[in-house]
Each structure stands twice: as C-alpha cells, then as structure tokens.
Amino acid sequence: MNKKYIALILGLIAINAVIYRLFVLPNVPSATPLSPPSMYHWFGTDINANDIFIKTMVAFVYELVTLLIVLSVIGFLGLISGLLTSALHIRVLKDLFMNFIHYIATLPILLIALFLLIIFGSGFFNAVIILSLSLIPTQALFVYNQLESARNEEFVLAKQSYGMTNTAIYKSHLLPFITKPYISYTLSRMPEIIMMSLALNFLGLGLQEPHPSLGRMLFDGLAFMFSAWWLWVFSTIATIFLFYLLRAFKI
Amino acid sequence: MQKPKLIYRLVFLVLTIFIIPALPILIIFIGTSSPEYVIRGTLNMSLTHDVSAWDLYRQAVINLLSFNLGVSTSSGMPVSAEICSGLYESFKTIIPAIIVSYIAGTIIGFYTKEKQSAKNSKYDFIFYIPIIVFSYLFLFLAAKAGIDFTSGIRYVFAIIILSVFPTFVVAKAFTSNYNNLIKNNYYNFHKSLGFANWYIFKKFMIRKFTIEYLSFFENLVIYMFGFIYFVEAPFAINGLGSKFVLGIQRFDYPLIIGFCIVGIIIFSIINIFVDFIKLRIDPRIINK
C-alpha cells in the first residue's frame, strides 16, 4: 500500500478518535462493565467500564512513541559506539571490545531486559531505557562490520594515498557510505522493538495502569477469551495493523 | 580468529556469572530500591541489610554456583526444581518446533527458490506479527470448532505457532543460499561435466547449508525461549513461560530472577557450543 494512503488512514483514525472523544463519549448515559460493542461504545467496554476504542487508540500511540524513542536512541548510540570501536587503534582493546559486543549480541535480549526491569523496577521509562540499552550492541556491531568492509574499498585507499586524515575519511566518506544501509537496518528492527515492547507490557513490566498498552490489553483479554471477545479482538487487530504499518515504512 | 573468540566467550560467561549477583547489590547502594526488598526478593537471602556488600556478594555467588536459587514464594518448591520441571515441559514444544521449522522452512524455501518475488513479498509482515496473536486466534478457532484444547493437541498448536517465524527465516536463508550457490563457478563447472543436481548438492552444498543453518540456530532458540509465554499462557502449558507469567503476577521474585539467570547462562553455553561446532566444520575457519 502506498505510504500516502497509510498516512490518510492514520489521519482518519486520529480524527475519528477525536470526534468520538469530544462528541460521542460525553453523551453516553452510563458505561457498564464488559458491555459489548454498541452505538455508544464502538469497541465495547472493559471490566472497569473503560471504553476500549479510546484505550486501543491511546495504546497504539504509546506503541508508536516507544518505537520512536527506542529507534532514535539505538540509532544514535549504536552509530557512535560502532564508530568508536572501528576507530580504535589498539588491536587488543579492539578485539576485547568487539568480542564483548559479540557476546552481548548473542545473549537473549528479552531475558536481560526482564532481569534489569525486575531489579530496577517496572515502568514506561525504565522499559524504554532498558530496551534501548539491550539493543545498542547489535547496532554497534552492524556499524562496525559495515565500516570494516568499507575501509577496504578502493576509494578509501585512494583518499589515504592523497594524505587525508582518518577523521576526514570517516567524516566525509565512510559515514555517508554506511548511512543508507544503517538507516535501513535500524528501520528493519521496528518489528523486533514492537514485539519486545508488547512482551514487556504483556508481562506487566512496561506501561503501568491507568495507561493502556496493547500487550496488557491482550493479557487482560485472555481471561475473557470466550465470554467477552471484544476485549482481545480489537487489540489483536490493532497489533496486526501496527505490523502492517511497519512493513509499509520499511526502506 | 575463531579460537580466541571461543576463549573470549568463555571468559565473558564466567564474568557474567560474577556480574549478575553484583547488580542487585549495586542498586542497594545507588539507593533506587529498598535493601530489604532486594536482599529478600531478588538475591533470595535471609540476611538483613546490616551485612556488608562484600558478604552479600560472596553469599550470592556461592548460591549461584551451587545452583541454589532459593525457594519459590508462590509454590514453596525450590526454584531449581521449578526451572527443571518448566524446562522439561517447554522442551516438549521447543524441540519439535525447531525441527519443524528447519524441515518446513527447507521445503518451502526449495519450492519458492525460483520466485524472485519471495524475497520481498508484501505478505511478509504476517510472519513478524507477535505469536500472541496467532495463539489467540488458534485458541478461539479451536474452541469454536469444538476441539478440546486442554488435551494433548495444545502441544501441536503450540509447535505450529512457535514455528511460524522460524520457518520463514529458514525458508529465506535457504532461498538466498541456494540462489548464491547456483551462481558459483564450482556448481557450473560440475554441471557442465554432467553431474546431476542432487549429486552436486550432496557432495558440496550440504556442509555449506549446515553452516548457514547453524549460524541462526541460536537466534531461533532465543526467539522461542524469549516468547514462549505467548504460547504457554493461552494454552495452559505448565512450562517455563507459564511459570514466568504466574511468577510476575504473584511477585515471585526468586523464580523470575532464577529463570533469567539460568536462561542467560544456558544461552551462553548454547552459543559456545554452536561456535565450537562451527570451528570444527567450517572450512573457512579451518583453513585460517
């Protein structure tokens, strides 16, 4: 699907949510817990009589915000750490650092994140920080590998023979050379980030009540799988839509 | 290059074992959490906060090395016993799921190898959807179809759901490797000599494919272990995932911390094991 159409759909959903919040919800007589989808509650209500449509919209936005923050942090810090590792001249230090990154990158990121979240306490910001920290090593590894292969390219050798300094080569040639693959790689991690965010929220270690999250809504829906289908069906659809959206923005 | 890498990994594994107990002690001194809570909850010790940091650390390392992870506060059983029983139950789904992924992925990859469109299909996103969605859909549809999902069939469902994304990964790897290989000179050379496709494959490519498959084996295992609770919680399989979800709901910190520590150590060992196999069979490393 064209990105324009997706932006249009998102815009329509946002306008819809605003209209719903401003004009429909205030006129609702009184919300009853676990009421099925109706004219007043398009997606029904949950056990606390909260409107699921609003909850889904807010949770969707929270997922996008998490994605945006984590992507920016890992994009920036991953690039810096990869660059620094590549620029190290002491072989032993470089080996040590690279092997450490390799080791961290092959560990189960989610388990590490869970471990740290249990120790440091759950919450949105803790989850975002720990999620970012656990994803940085793989980003750095990618930057390092790209830089190492780019350093053997002929244009770099030519610039070195002209007498250009390493800093200048990094700044003017190597960085622009890896920019596109790096952006592409960073964006390709979007499903992973969302999956981990969903997992943390599902376990109740991410966003806390009263803030809704798709993962927690899915977890809450499990107890009402057959008696109140609307508790999980709409959050499931929102999750699928989110992943479809991510695919559209993949470079 | 590979041998030092293996040594580094072993060193880092040992360091991890020594660093893990230091983290809870560190946060006592940073002051982000109550010492009592950390000592009793995450370190699982019956010591008071008057004990020095070194004594705490030493005791925690001794406990960890002797696999004494404390007692689960919700079930009253030792955490090590809980983890072992959970692992046994989880392996019933994870091991078949890995086998299914490799076999199904290879078959799918083989049949889609000619299609260039398979590289960037617009339906690829389906494979990235979290497995929780598939679990819910399977559970709902199974109940609607009158299938008793509390019986042994839940394992079949769990295996299918767990192997969706890994199958996709294997199929992709097979397709790209196959396409790369048939462009190789040695393939064309042997083909021109009149060797059959299967013979060339058997003689030259099986090792190459084994190495490629091994390269993401650990990632698949990590994926399955990492998201196992998305399958076990809905299907009520009493494995590690279910125990983990219950542990979080009941604030059973010894169990959660024990699961995380054992998980990290197990995966480190798996990584070292996979690296060791690669060291033995990869001709590129052997020649170096």
pLDDT at A168: 86
In a domain, B70, yes or no: no
For the residues B19-32, what does the mean pLDDT come to? 74
The residue behind tokens 């053997």 is A152
Half-sphere exposure (CA, 13 Å, Cβ side) for B32?
A: 14
| pLDDT, tens digit, 9 for 90 and up, residues A95-152 | 888 788 777 777 777 777 887 787 777 888 888 998 898 889 889 889 988 988 888 8
Between CA B217 and CA A107 the distance in angstroms is: 13
| CB-based contact A219:A236 (threshold 8 Å) | no
Of A106, A108, A121, the CB nearest to B33: A121
**Domain tally for chain B?**
1
Suggest the residue from A6, A95, A99, A214 to mutate for an interface test with chain B (most B CBs closer than 10 A). Answer: A99
| pLDDT, tens digit, 9 for 90 and up, residues A198-215 | 888 988 888 887 888 899
| CB-based contact B238:B84 (threshold 8 Å) | no
Of B5, B229, B261, the CB nearest to A99: B5
Helix, strand counts (H, E) of chain B: 17, 0
Range of the domain at A134: 3-248
Neighbours of B160 (CB within 10 A): 18
Q: What is the DSSP string of B144-175?
A: HTT--TTSTHHHHHHHHHHTHHHHHHHHHHHH
| CB-based contact B188:B246 (threshold 8 Å) | no
Of A107, A219, A236, the CB nearest to B267: A107
> How would you classify residue A49: left for phi > 0, otherwise alpha for psi between -120 and 50, otherwise beta?
left
Q: Is pLDDT at B188 greater than 70 in this prediction?
A: yes
Of B125, B139, B259, the CB nearest to A225: B139
The residue behind tokens 């190597």 is A174
Q: Do A118 and B260 touch (CB under 8 A)?
A: yes
In a domain, B278, yes or no: no
Angle at B218 between CA B120 and CA B253, to 5 degrees: 115
| pLDDT, tens digit, 9 for 90 and up, residues A66-91 | 999 999 999 999 999 888 888 877 77
pLDDT band (50, 70, 90) for residue A58: confident
Q: Do A203 and B263 touch (CB under 8 A)?
A: no
A214 and chain B in contact, CB less than 8 A = no
Residue B33's closest chain A neighbor by CA?
A120
Of A32, A10, A70, the residue nearest A193 (C-alpha): A70
In a domain, B258, yes or no: no
Suggest the residue from A96, A98, A118 to mutate for an interface test with chain B (most B CBs closer than 10 A). Answer: A118
Q: Which residue has the higher pLDDT, A177 or B32?
A: A177
Residues 110-139 of B with CB under 8 A from A: 122, 124-125, 128-130, 132-133, 136-137, 139
Chain A residues close to B136, C-beta within 8 Å? 218, 221-222, 225, 232, 236
**Domain tally for chain A?**
1
Chain A / chain B CB contacts < 8 angstroms: 128
Q: Which residues of B13-42 are buried (b: 16+ CB within 10 A; e: fewer)?
A: beebbeebbebbbebbeeeebebeebbbbb
Q: Is residue B78 helix, strand or coil?
A: strand
In a domain, B248, yes or no: yes
CA distance A111 to chain B (A): 6
Residue B247: phi and psi, rounded to 5, are: -60, -40
Of B135, B140, B130, the residue nearest B160 (C-alpha): B135
Peptide bond into A210 cis (omega under 30): yes
Between CA A62 and CA B82 the distance in angstroms is: 35
Half-sphere exposure (CA, 13 Å, Cβ side) for A204?
A: 11
Chain B residues close to A204, C-beta within 8 Å? 248-249
Of A111, A118, A119, the CB nearest to B263: A111
pLDDT at B101: 93
Q: Do B256 and A111 touch (CB under 8 A)?
A: no
Q: Do A99 and B9 touch (CB under 8 A)?
A: yes
CATH number, domain of A27, equals: 1.10.3720.10
Neighbours of B157 (CB within 10 A): 22
Between CA A106 and CA B222 the distance in angstroms is: 9
Neighbours of A80 (CB within 10 A): 14
Q: Do A100 and B12 touch (CB under 8 A)?
A: yes
| CB-based contact A235:A59 (threshold 8 Å) | yes
Q: Do A203 and B23 touch (CB under 8 A)?
A: no
CATH number, domain of B157, equals: 1.10.3720.10
Q: Which residue has the higher pLDDT, A242 or B253?
A: A242
ipTM of model = 0.79
For the residues A13-25, what does the mean pLDDT come to? 72
In a domain, B65, yes or no: no
CA distance B147 to chain A (A): 14
A111 and chain B in contact, CB less than 8 A = yes
Of A99, A106, A219, the CB nearest to B218: A106
Mean pLDDT across chain A: 83
pLDDT at A251: 44
Of B222, B219, B214, B228, the residue nearest B282 (C-alpha): B214
Range of the domain at B179: 81-253
Of B8, B125, B263, the CB nearest to A247: B125
Tokens of B275: 């690296």
Give, for A53, the enclosing helix (H) or strand (E).
Answer: helix A52-87
A109 and chain B in contact, CB less than 8 A = yes
